Amino acid sequence: MKGNGTVPLNELVATLRAVAEPSRVRLLVLCFRGELTVSELAQILGQSQPRVSRHLKLLCDAGLLDRFREGSWVFYRLSAGGAAAALSRHLVAACDESDETIALDLQRLAAIKRQRAELAAAYFRDNAAQWHRIRSLYIDEREVEAALAEIVAAAAPHDLLDIGTGTGRMLEILAPHAGNALGIDQSREMLAVARVNLERAGLANSMVRLADMYQLPLADASFDAVVIHQVLHYADRPDAVIAEAARVLRPGGILLVVDFAPHGLEFLRDEHAHRRLGFADADVAQWCRLAGLEPDAPRRLPGEPLTVVIWTAHRPAAAAGSLAAPGRARVSAGAPAVERVLDR
């Protein structure tokens, strides 16, 4: 590839050859919509895994797809950079979604995603009451909580959002440093536990609501701090979660993502529904940048066997004279963001 994002003729023809087959175009269309495993892709295409693997290899060799291994699972996603990545996005955009084959693929993909969501929801339902016990199996959280409280206290947010609030633990720790705090979660059972905890803690400035982290029922630029604590490893599209969090962040606002550094503890996947075995700093930084945020240096809290990482990123402050949101000041026009959340 050249510096200006174009490719030499021979390379372009080779890339087009790699994709010039119906199954491979279908794979591109599917991988555009999320990170998928070979077995999921084989299930959707109705083809054997070895056959699908051969197609995937050709697409990876041509730079159209990225492949990454996590323990025993291998994921495929549309490649993130380079001229081939731009080309694959053009090809996906040009593909008619109402085509019979593509429409069926997308229906099957939706069914697989529903299945995944049901599995995760069932897990959380079964574990709502014991969640505090489960997390204590991994690491001592007190150090993490103190570090987060320090960061949020310095930011002094008017409106704070806790994505995947679970039992509301982050709200208990962080809401005292915010004007108003909202926790969202997709699990009614978790929210029931959170409500009890918030009441017990006397946190009058906090509320929780049922919502999906991929589609927050919240206005753009309506929070000064957004926290995603031990949630991202359940996401099949962590980049989309970060993009959605960034969308609701005001200029000058801060995003805090807390999760594990890459690890090999497969049992977390098998027994605790983790989809990702930790995250690389470079991936989180890239997702933040793509979402318009400026990543800071990550802070690592090593533990045995898991290391917790706190990744923070800021939305650049609005230029003087623009319609700036209140930023990190404790002043905000109109009703607090948490009161504008859709009631369900």
Ligand X SMILES: C[S@@+](CC[C@H](N)C(=O)[O-])C[C@H]1O[C@@H](n2cnc3c(N)ncnc32)[C@H](O)[C@@H]1O
Which residues would be at the binding site for ligand X (CB under 6 A)? Answer: 120, 124, 164-167, 169-170, 185-187, 190, 212-214, 229-231, 234
The residue (of 75 and 124) whose beta carbon lies closer to ligand X is 124
- Using the structure block, give the residue that is written with the tokens 């119906």: 22
Output 99 or 212, the one with its CB closest to ligand X.
212
The distance of closest approach from Cβ of residue 230 to ligand X in the complex, given in angstroms and rounded to an integer, is 4
Tell me how far, at minimum, the Cβ of 188 lies from ligand X, in Å. Answer: 9
Under 8 Å between Cβ of 170 and 147: no
- Strands 294-295 and 308-314 come out as antiparallel
For residues 51 and 125, which CB has a smaller minimum distance to ligand X in the complex?
Answer: 125
The number of angstroms, rounded, from the C-alpha of 256 to the middle of its chain's C-alpha atoms is 12
Nearest residue to ligand X, using CB? 166
- CA Rg, the chain, in Å? 21
**Shortest distance (Å) from residue 80 CB to ligand X:** 22
Residue 170 C-beta: closest distance to ligand X, Å: 5
Q: How many CB atoms lie within 10 A of CB 133?
A: 9
End-to-end CA distance of the chain: 50
Q: Which is nearer to ligand X, 69 or 267 (CB)?
A: 267
**DSSP-H helix ranges across 182-302:** 188-201, 238-247, 266-272, 281-290
Contact of 67 with 32, CB cutoff 8 Å = no
Q: How far is the CB of 18 from ligand X (least distance, A)?
A: 34
Q: How far is the CB of 76 from ligand X (least distance, A)?
A: 21
Cβ distance to ligand X smaller for residue 73 or 123: 123
- Cα–Cα distances in angstroms (integers) from residue 163 to residues 31, 155, 173, 250, in the given order: 25, 18, 14, 16
With respect to ligand X, which residue has the nearer C-beta, 166 or 327? 166
